[in-house]
Amino acid sequence: MTSSTDHRPFKQVDVFTDRPYHGNPVAVVLDARDLVTAQMQAIARWTNLSETTFVLPPTQAGADYRLRIFTPTLELPFAGHPTLGTAHALLESGRVTATGGRLVQQCERGLVSLRIEADTRRLFFRLPEPALAALDTRDAVELARALRVDATLVHGGTPRRIDVGASWITVELPSAEQVLAVEPDMAAIDALSRRLGPSTGVTIFGAQPAGGLARYEVRSFAPAGGAPEDPVCGSGNGCVAAWLRASGRGMPYLARQGRAVGRDGYIAVEFPEPSVIEIGGAAVTCIDGTITL
């Protein structure tokens, strides 16, 4: 690696919350110029967060910056909460300036548009166009076993593999209570994710009781990527939004995620156009300094 005197600006940002230590943290190396892939992977393994991001100069016209995204074990072409957390870090540090309330991120998936909500300063990313494929009977039965739930619940929830840059096996359960009660077999989820790969993992969701702040409870399991349960997952919630739109329920809503692992994040989902899904929320910096390479 580079000399021990090489210090790079670094932030750790909690995403989908305005209260530190309640959302999903992402580590952001704000200047990753000259770092090679092995160095990035080593840093991501060390932070041991679900994702660590590395900011680079853009190479595509129209992009404000380029982003590489790593879990502790692999690189991702796109991920939701790292996209929002990195944008927050860059804006807060003054390294980028929004034009007309918007930024454009370049990542392996392509260009991703971000919007800064004027009154709340919440950040939203435009979800890459989803691709949905229904699971066959064999895979649905295996999914039920991995979640340790009755197979009829999974079949009734119409499980799908949904690709939004990150790919999640996604299924609706009858209620938020049943979502929170799931005690998955992580080894089985790992095996299913790899067999149906490239799949990040499994996302489950269920409706909250009427009258609450959030409409859905969400959980995301990604043991194949080094994150057995992702606290609050942007791409997983994007897959839920794509599932709901495909089933005729494409209306704005708020989702809640993280309570099963001691967090409490809120994800705003909007459908500004019939073909567009936006995923957003608040973000707050928890660590601000430098990382030594």
Does residue 238 belong to any structural domain of this protein?
yes
Q: Give the range of the structural domain holding residue 121, as residue numbers without chain letter.
A: 7-128+281-292
- State pLDDT tens for residues 16-36: 999 999 999 999 999 999 999
> Do 160 and 251 reside in the same domain of the chain?
yes
pLDDT at 178 over 60: yes
> Do 193 and 95 reside in the same domain of the chain?
no
Which pLDDT belongs to residue 4? 57
Alpha carbon distance 148, 85 (integer Å) = 33
227 vs 102: which has the higher pLDDT: 102
The residues annotated with a catalytic role in the active site are 51
pLDDT at 1 over 50: no
> Do 89 and 181 reside in the same domain of the chain?
no
The Cβ of residue 194 has, within 10 Å, a number of other Cβ atoms equal to: 12
Does residue 274 belong to any structural domain of this protein?
no
C-alpha separations of 211 from 78, 266, 271 in Å: 34, 16, 21
pLDDT at 198 over 80: no
> Do 103 and 165 reside in the same domain of the chain?
no
CATH at 106: 3.10.310.10
- State pLDDT tens for residues 75-115: 999 999 999 999 999 999 999 999 999 999 999 999 999 99
C-alpha separations of 57 from 9, 43, 208 in Å: 15, 19, 42
Does residue 271 belong to any structural domain of this protein?
no
Does residue 2 belong to any structural domain of this protein?
no
Q: SS3 letters for 56-76?
A: ECCCCCCCCEEEEEECCCCEE
129 CB-near residues (< 8 Å, 6+ apart): 164, 275
Does residue 247 belong to any structural domain of this protein?
yes
> Do 152 and 228 reside in the same domain of the chain?
yes
- The structure's pTM equals 0.93
Does residue 215 belong to any structural domain of this protein?
yes
> Do 148 and 88 reside in the same domain of the chain?
no
Does residue 76 belong to any structural domain of this protein?
yes
